[in-house]
C-alpha cells in the first residue's frame, strides 16, 4: 500500500499500485446528467457540433472534474467517430439513438470513402485538455472495440440483441472480417494519436460483447482486441490500455489472459468476490457499482459501494460504475458516493 502522495493515483493504479482509498471516475461522467453540459449542448446545437469543436469538447471534458474532482478525466467524444471517419454519415437525432448511413447490411465497406481528417478536431481537444488538467488528474482517451463499433456500422443504429450483426458475421465471415479489420486499423491510429496528443491511458469500450457465443467472442472480441493492444504497446510502451468487455461474465478470465489489456473494467453483473478470486492477483480492476443504485442513493448506495471496496481492498482497484452514469442521476448522489469512497 502506498501512502505517499503520487502525482497521478489513477495512472499508478493502472500500473499496479494499491492505495488505501482507490482512485475514482465514472463512465460517461461528461454528459446529460450535468446541467452545465445540457446548457452548452443547447447553445451549440447538438452532440456532433460539440464533439468536433475543440474548445467546447475540452470544456465538457473538464466540467465533471471541476464539479467533483474525479481522479480521471475522460475525453468528450464518442465511439461512433470511427465509423464517421470510415466514411459513414453520422447523426444524433433528439430523442432517438445515433444513426449511421449507409448501413453495411446492404452496402459494401469498399463503397465508403474514408475521411480520417474528421478525427483531427479530437486530437486538438486532447491537447487543450492535457494543457489544462492539474497534474494529479489522469487523462483517459478511448475508442469502442471493433465488435461493438461494427454492430452500429452494420445495422446503422443501436439494437437490443445485435441480431443483424451476429447474422451478418455468420453469413459472410470474410466480409465481416474485413469490417472488423478496418475498424481495428483505424482504432490503432486513433488511439495512438490520442496518446501522442496527451492522454495518459486509453479504454476500449466493448458495450455489446455479451451477446456473442464463446467461439464468436474469441474471434470478434478477443482476437481484434489483442491486436489493438499489441500495436499500442509496441508504439507506446508504458501507456496502459483498459479493456471493458461488458457482459463477458465467465469469459472475463480468458479475455484478461488473451488480450494483454493492462486493466479490466467490470460491469455491475459481475460479483466482485468472484472477480477477486478468479482474476490474476496483480491485474488492476475497475468498477463496478450498478448505475441504478446511484439513482436510488442513500444507504443502499453506500452498502453496494462498500461491498465493492471490501472485495477489491487488496488489489489495484479503480472505483467506477459497471456502465455509464444515467441521465436522471441526482448530482447529490454522485457527491455522496465520492464522500463515501474517499471516507471524507
Ligand atoms: O463522459 C464520457 O464518457 C463522455 C464521452 C463518451 C460519450 N459516449 C459521449 C456521448 C463516451 C466514452 C461514450 C461511449 C459510447 N458511445 C458507448 C460505449 C459506452 C456505453 O455507454 O455503452 C456507446 C455504445 C456509444 C454510442 C452512443 N453515443 C449512443 C448509443 C448514444 C445515444 C444514447 C446515449 O447514451 O446518450 C450516444 C450519444 C452520446 N455520446 C451522448 C454523449 C454525452 C449523448 C448526446 C446528447 O444527446 O447530448
Q: Tell me: the pLDDT tens digits for 145-184? A: 999 999 999 999 999 899 999 999 999 999 999 999 999 9
Q: Give me the pLDDT at residue 96, please.
A: 84
In a domain? residue 230:
yes
In a domain? residue 255:
yes
In a domain? residue 3:
no
β-strand partners of 245: 206
Regarding the beta carbon of 166 and ligand 1, being less than 6 Å apart is answered: no
Q: 78: CA distance to ligand 1 center in Å? A: 6
User: Which residue from 254, 264, 251 is spatially nearest to 205, judged by alpha carbons?
Assistant: 264
In a domain? residue 1:
no
The C-alpha cell 488489489 sits at 315
In a domain? residue 162:
yes
Segments of the chain scoring below 70 in pLDDT: 1-6, 344
Q: How many CB atoms lie within 10 A of CB 94?
A: 6
CATH of the domain at 240: 3.20.20.210
In a domain? residue 244:
yes
Q: Give me the pLDDT at residue 215, please.
A: 97
In a domain? residue 318:
yes
Cα(22)–Cα(310) distance, integer angstroms: 11
Q: Give me the pLDDT at residue 1, please.
A: 60
The C-alpha cell 459494401 sits at 108
Structural domain total, the chain: 1
Structural domain of 269: 9-341
Helix or strand run (H / E) with residue 175: helix 173-197
* CB 286 within 8 Å of CB 318: yes
Ranges of beta strands (E only) in 211-261 are 241-245
User: Which residue from 229, 237, 230, 264 is spatially nearest to 249, judged by alpha carbons?
Assistant: 264
Maximum distance among all Cα pairs of the chain, rounded to whole angstroms:
57
Q: 281: CA distance to ligand 1 center in Å? A: 32
Task: Check if the interface score ipTM surpasses 0.85.
Answer: yes
* CB 122 within 8 Å of CB 81: yes
Mutate to test the pocket of ligand 1, among 28, 145, 147, 334 (most ligand atoms within 8 A of CB): 28
Regarding the beta carbon of 61 and ligand 1, being less than 6 Å apart is answered: no
The C-alpha cell 469543436 sits at 53
Regarding the beta carbon of 247 and ligand 1, being less than 6 Å apart is answered: no
Q: Give me the pLDDT at residue 94, please.
A: 77
User: Which residue from 130, 110, 127 is spatially nearest to 174, judged by alpha carbons?
Assistant: 110
Regarding the beta carbon of 324 and ligand 1, being less than 6 Å apart is answered: yes
In a domain? residue 4:
no
Q: Strand 89-92 and strand 98-101: pairing? A: antiparallel
Amino acid at each position: 500500500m502506498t501512502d505517499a502522495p503520487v502525482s497521478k493515483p489513477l495512472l499508478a493504479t493502472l500500473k499496479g499500485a494499491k492505495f488505501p482509498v482507490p482512485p475514482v471516475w465514472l463512465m460517461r461522467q461528461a454528459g446529460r446528467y450535468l446541467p452545465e453540459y445540457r446548457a452548452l449542448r443547447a447553445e451549440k446545437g447538438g452532440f456532433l457540433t460539440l464533439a468536433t469543436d475543440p474548445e467546447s469538447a475540452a470544456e465538457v471534458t473538464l466540467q465533471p472534474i471541476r464539479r467533483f474532482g474525479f481522479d480521471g478525466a475522460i475525453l468528450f467524444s464518442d465511439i461512433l467517430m470511427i465509423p464517421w471517419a470510415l466514411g459513414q454519415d453520422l447523426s444524433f437525432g433528439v430523442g432517438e439513438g445515433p444513426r449511421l448511413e449507409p448501413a453495411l447490411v446492404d452496402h459494401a465497406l469498399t463503397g465508403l470513402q474514408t475521411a480520417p481528417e474528421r478525427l483531427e478536431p479530437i486530437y486538438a481537444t486532447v491537447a487543450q485538455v492535457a494543457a489544462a488538467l492539474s497534474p494529479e488528474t489522469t487523462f483517459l482517451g478511448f475508442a469502442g472495440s471493433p465488435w461493438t463499433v461494427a454492430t452500429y456500422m452494420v445495422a446503422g443504429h443501436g439494437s437490443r440483441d445485435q441480431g443483424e450483426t451476429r447474422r451478418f458475421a455468420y453469413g459472410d465471415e470474410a466480409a465481416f472480417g474485413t469490417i472488423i479489420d478496418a475498424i481495428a486499423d483505424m482504432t490503432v491510429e486513433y488511439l495512438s494519436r490520442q496518446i501522442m496528443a496527451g492522454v495518459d491511458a486509453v479504454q476500449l469500450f466493448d458495450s455489446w460483447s455479451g451477446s456473442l457465443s464463446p467461439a464468436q467472442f474469441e474471434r470478434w472480441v478477443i482476437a481484434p482486441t489483442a491486436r489493438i493492444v499489441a500495436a499500442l504497446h509496441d508504439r507506446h510502451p508504458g501507456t496502459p490500455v483498459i479493456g471493458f468487455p461488458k457482459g463477458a461474465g465467465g469469459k472475463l478470465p480468458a479475455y484478461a489472459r488473451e488480450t494483454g489489456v493492462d486493466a479490466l473494467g467490470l460491469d455491475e453483473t459481475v460479483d466482485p468476490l468472484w472477480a477477486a478470486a478468479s482474476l490474476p492477483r496483480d491485474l488492476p480492476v475497475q468498477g463496478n457499482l450498478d448505475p441504478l443504485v446511484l439513482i436510488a442513493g442513500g444507504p443502499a448506495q453506500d452498502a453496494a459501494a462498500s461491498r465493492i471496496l471490501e472485495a477489491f481492498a487488496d488489489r489495484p482497484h479503480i472505483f467506477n460504475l459497471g456502465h455509464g452514469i444515467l441521465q436522471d442521476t441526482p448530482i447529490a448522489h454522485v457527491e455522496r458516493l465520492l464522500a463515501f469512497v474517499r471516507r471524507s
